A = this chain, B = another copy of it.
Amino acid sequence: MNLDRFSINQMTVKQLALPELVAECVRLGIPGIGLWREPVQAYGVEAAAALVRGAGLTVTTLCRGGFFTADGWEAENRAAIDEAVTLGTDTLVLVSGGLTPACPDLPSARTRITEAIGALAPYAGERGIRLAIEPLHPMYASDRCAVSTLDQALEIAEHFPASQVGVTVDTYHLWWDDRAPGAVERAGAAGRIHSFQLADWTTPLPAGVLNGRGQLGTGAIDLRAWADLAEKAGWTGPVEVELFNDELWARDGVEVLEETLDRFLAV
């Protein structure tokens, strides 16, 4: 893939402080960056916005809103939308939340998620922010995200205008699903792919299964086939690399960034 499509998600090299990451992006010609709320808040939202704007970087997404099955979701998500506006991105990624006392089973969780997105979509749309529902791998269904397939995410998104609500296509979460290619096509045709992310699938999974996302090309996923799929579905936007990986985090951040870029170009 070409450099002009590349976006580095901040979490991939979370050992780099934001100014260092931004400087390295400029040095390497990386055009895009995906940001996370917590480190951005720690740095200061306005300051982060000025930093990336000054460097000429495109903020491809803000991660993340969601967790709609927990108390306090509405204020939290309005704040996330406001931060997205400040940071100059047009896309807020949503991790929708798992089972809670208020939503003790998957059907009730999915109902709550749909209602919550309905309450937020106009607020987001008025501010030029697209909500991108991210289906997470089914192994997160109980504790992080009751939306497990792209079909489910699309089904929720289709209640709302595409300019307000779409989906995040992340290879790590979807690669196993033989129905996902059809759903990517459908999402593309409806203009609902709002983010496309790459990570590879490696085993054995670590305890807690959060921080074992594989570096591109080290795992089971045919990433080239997924890139072709997204392209055929009309996706011409940035391709974000988002890896949560304890081994990568333990290494020198600049080295990991360079390696990730090389791997991306080789896909």
Contact = CB atoms under 8 A, between A and B. Distances in A.
Nearest to A105: B222
A34 to B, nearest CB: 25
Interface in A139-157: 139, 141-143, 148-149, 152
Contact of A205 (B105, B152, B209): B209
A106 interface: yes
A204 B205 contact: no
B203 A206 contact: no
A208 B139 CA distance: 12
Interface in A201-260: 201, 203-209, 219-220, 222
B138 A139 contact: yes
> This chain: how many copies in the complex?
2
A175 B146 CA distance: 11
Contacts of A105: 220, 222
Interface residues of A, number: 28
Given A203-B142, A207-B204, A152 B178 contact: yes
Nearest to A201: B142
Contacts of A137: 138-139
Nearest to A107: B178
A265 to B, nearest CB: 22
Contacts of A99: 220
Binding site secondary structure of chain A: loop
Contact of A177 (B148, B175, B203, B206): B148
Contacts of A204: 143, 207-209
Nearest to A139: B139
Residue of A110, A138, A175, A201 contacting most chain B CB atoms (<10 Å): A138
30 contacts: A99-B220, A105-B220, A105-B222, A106-B175, A106-B176, A106-B178, A110-B178, A137-B139, A138-B138, A138-B177, A139-B209, A141-B175, A141-B176, A141-B201, A141-B220, A142-B176, A142-B203, A142-B219, A143-B204, A148-B176, A148-B177, A152-B178, A204-B207, A204-B208, A204-B209, A205-B205, A205-B209, A206-B207, A207-B207, A209-B209
Contacts of A139: 137-139, 205, 209
Given A142-B219, A143-B203, A152-B178, 12 more contacts: A137-B139, A139-B205, A141-B201, A141-B220, A148-B177, A204-B207, A204-B209, A205-B207, A205-B208, A205-B209, A206-B207, A209-B209
